Structure 1
């Protein structure tokens, strides 16, 4: 959505410009092995990828979005939910095929 960027400063500029242009409260950019970055009115919150062996990325994005939505629906802020969603995505890529996770894996 934001196009290519040379460095984190340019990514932040492009992401915040897109967020403003679309009147979004926040924009989450997934960055593959670099993790994910949340852009909001408070700036950028970068969460590095969890260091783990990747077996299968099937469903990882769905897991991240579902976890983020569940955390926000339960009253967490986006800034609190993003690290948990990132952890959830890191767990599922360490499994073969489309996999579910449970709360003990996520919070244990």
Structure 2
């Protein structure tokens, strides 16, 4: 049996450009229980995002919106949109590592 991931608990996980220099990802959770997991700062925080996307932890911004069961994450694009080395012009595939993040039971340990 495979591990439960954030994508399993979400209605949608998506990423998009937030201008040519930033990426924004959104987790639209199915219900309040899934939102509690995704919004748990001991599970999903700036350090986790920095590790997944190889960006500076201090540049990661996380917005938790409980009334909508949404977590929004933004960070600078490692390569600006449209530059010679840009492999995802619209940042449409950046959400995949986040969506595949395994969800375990909250343990309180540092991740």
Structure (1/2) with the larger helix percentage = 1
TM-score by length of 1: 0.31
Query: Which one has the bigger strand percentage?
Result: 2
Larger relative contact order (C-alpha < 8 A, sep ≥ 6)?
A: 2
| TM-score under structure 2 length normalisation | 0.31
